[in-house]
Chain A
């Protein structure tokens, strides 16, 4: 199973997200992540969708999306020809000084920021390509993760 990045521009109407997710649901396509937000044109929203599948499934997803009345355009983005990024917040248990130091060092290594700190926990923020986020989460799992929230990928053609 490959992962593909789709950038979909849609009319900014009520229900358009439901329409797209309903299509994925009923056709049985796998979504890894889906983000949707405004663009510079208030009538248009952009969805960035990471899907799993193979080439024939990708072809079907693109064609089926294009059949939706409110979908204007679907681009299959190549990783090297696009900018894509994801945001993650991780809340870590960090009570001892040594733990805090280790977390700080790790954050420096990955260019992550500590955005909140209490006596018991630290919240770390990282904005990166998904593979770097995966790697960061892998090492950070050596600490006690209290909560974690990933935004899903947003992307744009270079």
Chain B
């Protein structure tokens, strides 16, 4: 049937299973919004306050569901406002399709009104991008975009569509959804080699990351850990892949990981990295990371092998495929002495914060929060101290329930991500944990949550400072607090009220409990302003470039 470009876009999105998109209209996408108007029963469009919010929402939707998230913006500033969101998704390997309108093809290159070369701008932050110059290419381009976004190591893809292409007509032939099912050949020789290295190791440790979440390989990983008796530490991107109650779990590893995990890495004789990339926030000193260990690296992206550190052996595969194939080769083993050594480190070295119910200590706030929201709640964070505490004291037991900007570290990510998760799962509790610094970046999206009745609970860890940067100033800049003390007078109760939400202010744990109990009953968004001390620090900490010898724990 003959359709115009905008109708073909809608058809192709529906074809790919898309039922929700996040976006913001504008001149170059008028035709597309007209088609969306006529197809509002097939695609739900969530109108955000700012395109950045739409990009983070599509990202959060993708993180929470595992599906490809879709955002839509107009040309020029609409497109550039997506950029931070696209880069955030790129750094964390999140499947996303960003669609931008552009000026008509006859106006391209003439510095026309709201014209920007978004394909050039997003080249280094997308897996791939397209400029659709002819309507005949549009349907196949959309199909390719979904395939690229979801295949291999996932990531964002941008499609830029000039305005005349959205109105030009051509024959549209429906096709089935692109199914991405890849197999990575793992040979018996590779499996025997890895199994042999595991069998010979006396002090093995697994370090795993977001690749385990992407491949949904938590169960297989747990089976390997238990069968071969190997403790495992994880990155911030892998929170929830294995239960935090698992005795073999060492918790977070890296700059703000546990001291015991850092020592386990330091003393291990075999380190198996699964779906992680030895980033500078984990391998703080890449030359001294796991110095005594043979290192095995399992990753879906061949380019990650030997990128940040040289490894002794590697297999290119997704985590699930590799682990399932490996398990039959693994002999049951016990590493009693090694486990006892780690248990000793946990008892004697791990940082234990002190309780005090009369104020709000971050760890107590988070403990209270997790107790009250239960195992099924989705948590989205912004970036800073609150994020690190949320990761350290998390109690997530399910994958895709802890959404955080690990790679790019985008302040302002959390509210959009929480909206995406809440739109995907209207019946789940969605909590947005933020700081007063991050929250101010994108608090405009509160209006979106009000409009769509998204009962997102925002926990503002309010210390009136930019806590993480300030912590570095405390530790490394002799307390010269350059531009990190905020002298803001924002009244979050009035702010919530002004947007049509509900706000609370709490100064101790009992008040926090009461506010949370109230918030959990509401059908719209809630802000809880939690007053914490400005000198609270994220501990322990391995400074950038440091090793276990440099751990700061008090």
> A residues within 8 Å of B by Cβ?
14-15, 18-19, 22-23, 26, 56, 59-60, 63-64, 66-70
Contact = CB atoms under 8 A, between A and B. Distances in A.
B216 interface: no
5 contacts: A22-B123, A23-B124, A63-B303, A66-B302, A67-B303
Contact of B303 (A14, A22, A60): A60
B306 A15 contact: no
B123 A64 contact: no
A23 to B, nearest CB: 8
Given A56-B310, A60-B307, A18 B301 contact: no
Contacts of B131: 14-15
Given A15-B119, A67-B301, A69-B148, A59 B306 contact: yes
A69 B303 contact: no
A103 B124 CA distance: 48
Contacts of B148: 69
Interface residues of B, number: 15
Nearest to B125: A26
A70 B131 CA distance: 14
B482 to A, nearest CB: 29
Contacts of A70: 128
Interface string B103-144: 000000000000000011001100110010000000000000
A63 B300 CA distance: 12
Interface of B: 119-120, 123-124, 127-128, 131, 148, 301-303, 305-307, 310
A60 B306 CA distance: 8
Contacts of A18: 120, 123
A87 to B, nearest CB: 30
Contacts of A59: 306
A56 B120 contact: no
A108 B310 CA distance: 50
Contacts of A15: 119-120, 123, 131
Given A59-B306, A60-B307, A69 B120 contact: no
Given A56-B310, A60-B306, A60-B307, A19 B123 contact: yes
A11 to B, nearest CB: 11
Contacts of B120: 15, 18
A68 B124 CA distance: 11
Contacts of B302: 63, 66
Nearest to B304: A63
Given A15-B119, A56-B310, A69-B148, A26 B303 contact: no
B355 to A, nearest CB: 47
Contacts of A26: 124
Among A23, A63, A66, which residue has the most Cβ atoms of chain B within 10 A? A63
B306 A69 contact: no
A69 B307 contact: no
Contact of B127 (A22, A63, A69): A69
A22 B128 contact: no
Given A14-B131, A56-B306, A60-B307, 6 more contacts: A15-B119, A23-B124, A63-B302, A66-B302, A67-B127, A67-B301
B306 A22 contact: no
B52 to A, nearest CB: 22
Contacts of A23: 124
Nearest to B301: A67
Among A15, A26, A70, which residue has the most Cβ atoms of chain B within 10 A? A15
A58 B185 CA distance: 24
A27 to B, nearest CB: 9
B478 to A, nearest CB: 33
Contacts of A64: 303
A67 to B, nearest CB: 6
A69 B148 CA distance: 8
